[in-house]
Amino acid sequence: MKNNYSLKRSFNLLVIKVVTSTVALFFVILIFWLIWLSVFPRNYYEKVYSESFLKSVEKEIPNLLLGENRDIPNKDSKFQYLITIDGKKQIKSDDFPNNGIKLNETSNGTHSFVENNEMYSFKVFDHYPTVKILMIYPAFSTGNQVVDYINVVFQYFIVASPFMLFIIFLSIFTTKLYRAIRSKFIIVETHLKEIEEGDLSTPLPDFNNKEFGELSRQINKMRIELNNLLDESRKKSIVQKQLFSSIAHDVRTPLTIINAETELLEMLSEDSAVQERCSVIASEVSRIDKLLTELLKITRLNTDSYTLKYEELNIIDILHSTIVEFSSLCKMNEIKIRENYKDNLITIYCDQLMITRIIQNVLSNAVEHVDIGGEIECSVIQTLSETTISISNTDSLFSDEYLKGEFIPFYSDKCQREKEHFGLGLYMSDLMIKKMNGLISIKNENQQATVIITLKNEGR
């Protein structure tokens, strides 16, 4: 059975772990300190050196009482002493303090005390009550300077250790908790990106955490619902495509018959008026057939049946080749096409058929909606992240209504129907560019209508 911890409980456990670890390790340090003190006791001068010194003094007291000056052996300069007889100073060590007031205060004392990390200890001999010894030596010393230094450092460490340990354990456990939470966020983030890219096959794992577990269940529920909606949408799209293909096929059959009968009637009739009407009928039948072809292509683009074939291409070559295709038509209408790009080699990564068709559609609309003697400008700009293809034509502007709405074809004051234009070419281009994660936008700039094709530099 999985533990269903909440984030609140995790934070509470974190606090408990930090406090428990701090206290436990602090006790370990204290135990080590006690063991250290037992190995290196800090009463060297009190228990060892002073006792040895007092024995030496006691041997010399009879001579001192007789008024003889005797040297008391003292091998440690840190150990200072003062011997008084009947309250009068008799013998003192070389480095004994010379402060008179301090000397009087200490020499008249009876109880040991510590001041400035020095022990003031008094000794009166049982057999010689008139003889009094004042000893001054380092308090809490082991007699070894290195060990004493370690003791001082250790003392400060013990005082500061609770705070230091608390901060260290807090950092360790919060980092661990953060990584655990962050790892779950990464899993969720990765899964959401997969959903965004259309991969709905992998469910999000069930986390052993109340909040993340609930998040996982909700995301999986959303994934299932999205998958069901997409399946339903695919089924409807397939049915729609099949239905439209069937309708197009059924419509084309009578259109073929009408076209054939019209051609036969035109051949058999000698009446010029009849021949003219037959020509109009044939032209309109051809328009309907082209419209059906365009609608079938749009239906195919709106489904997932088309597979993109990405490859490295020189967009300048594709653009120039397409311009050459329109050169005869432009020459007839005295239309000038200017190519504006700094480099003859600009590489993109996309589907060649699609990008070629997109440029053809945009150029076709530009040529159709420019007046005789007008000008079309084509330019290509590439940055680190994207490649932009701009196609502009003179004497043509988009209305404010078009600029605010969805993508629409080139607009002019002339009726599009007069040019036998269905307005589907650029709509198809918009569908195709979106399949390649690109974008088509429109704007009016320098009294020109401009279509901008933008492709991301992915896979380069």
Q: What is the mean pLDDT of each run of 10 residues along the chain (460 residues)?
A: 68 91 93 88 81 82 76 79 77 71 51 79 81 84 83 88 92 90 88 83 80 85 86 78 74 82 82 82 80 70 69 90 87 87 85 86 84 87 90 79 58 43 65 84 84 79
CA distance 131 to 62: 10
Contact, 453 vs 388, CB < 8 A? Answer: yes
3-class secondary structure, 89: strand
pLDDT in tens, 382-426: 988 899 999 988 777 777 777 766 554 444 444 444 444 445 667
Closest alpha carbon to 7 in 171, 220, 180, 169: 180
Query: What is the CB-side half-sphere exposure of residue 164 using CA atoms within 13 A?
Result: 9
pTM: 0.47
Q: Which pair of structure tokens corresponds to residue 429?
A: 């281009």
Q: What is the pLDDT of residue 164?
A: 93
Q: What is the pLDDT of residue 61?
A: 80
Report residue 374: phi and psi, to 5°: -80, -170
Contact, 376 vs 365, CB < 8 A? Answer: no
H helices of 89-197, in order, are 100-107, 145-196
Neighbours of 136 (CB within 10 A): 21
